[in-house]
Amino acid sequence: MPRKPANQQFDTIQAIRDQAFVLFGRFGYEGVSIGEIARHSKLSKGALYWHFPGKEALYLDCLQRLHAIFNEYIFDPMRATNDPVRSILHLFRALNDLLQDPRVQSGIAGYWLIPSRPETGRIVESQQAFEAASREVIAETLRNGVAQGHFDFGNDLEDMAGAIISLVEAVVLPLRHQGPDEVKASLGVLARTLFRAYAKDDALIGMTREF
């Protein structure tokens, strides 16, 4: 098969990635076939295999694209600030913004439906590495909050970091179906609950009213 010009190859690859991202987000790894992705991309299966070696590689590409979206909205900005209070507040605001992003509007629940099999080993490793890195960003933020005298997590700090990661993943799924005002209200309640439980100064709790 002769190669297409570079610009056409780019457009084809992007079409495959875009269609696969939506389909995997809706139906998960096992719920989507290469044939379905090819059909939605208006390609033959042979043409799709010309650009991607198989479903595992394509799913991994899409999963890493999802990780990049979470990093763009949440974790990269948290890494960039030394103000733990603002950083935690940013997390909740960023979740609100992420939920308005068109890239997640079709659904992303399927990315939490990863079967544990030899062929999906790289996918599972990628997800675990992302979750570990994200958890460390949150844990470091919480440690800084304690060191600066803003919070007292007692023995809960590491568990709280894990709980927040679970929260970040969990709220994206049900809140996606709510309106912007409902999403903002729900996230505001979660932020205020966290601050009421662990903030050492009532003034910090007042900052959550910005929601």
CATH number of the domain to which 194 belongs: 1.10.357
Asked if the structure places residue 1 within a domain, the reply is no
- Determine the 3-state secondary structure of 24 from DSSP: helix
Q: Which two tokens stand for residue 154?
A: 């007692």
Please say if the pLDDT value at position 149 is more than 90: yes
Instruction: Tell me the average pLDDT across 168-192.
Output: 79
Residue ranges making up the domain that contains 196 = 65-210
Q: Give me the pLDDT at residue 4, please.
A: 52
- Phi/psi for 33 (5° steps) reads -105, 160
Please say if the pLDDT value at position 5 is more than 70: no
Q: How confident is the model at residue 156 (pLDDT cuts 50, 70, 90)?
A: very high
- If one counts the domains in the chain, the total is 1
Bridge partners, residue 199, by sequence: 151
Q: Give me the pLDDT at residue 211, please.
A: 64
Q: Give me the pLDDT at residue 75, please.
A: 95
Instruction: Tell me the average pLDDT across 121-149.
Output: 94
The torsion angle over the Cα atoms of residues 151, 157, 159 and 160, rounded to 10 degrees, is 20
Bridge partners, residue 129, by sequence: none
Asked if the structure places residue 56 within a domain, the reply is no
Average pLDDT across the chain, whole number: 87
Q: Which two tokens stand for residue 125?
A: 């490793």
CB contact at 8 A, 70 and 134: yes
Model confidence over 119-133: pLDDT tens digits? 888 999 999 999 999
Asked if the structure places residue 196 within a domain, the reply is yes
| pTM, full prediction | 0.87
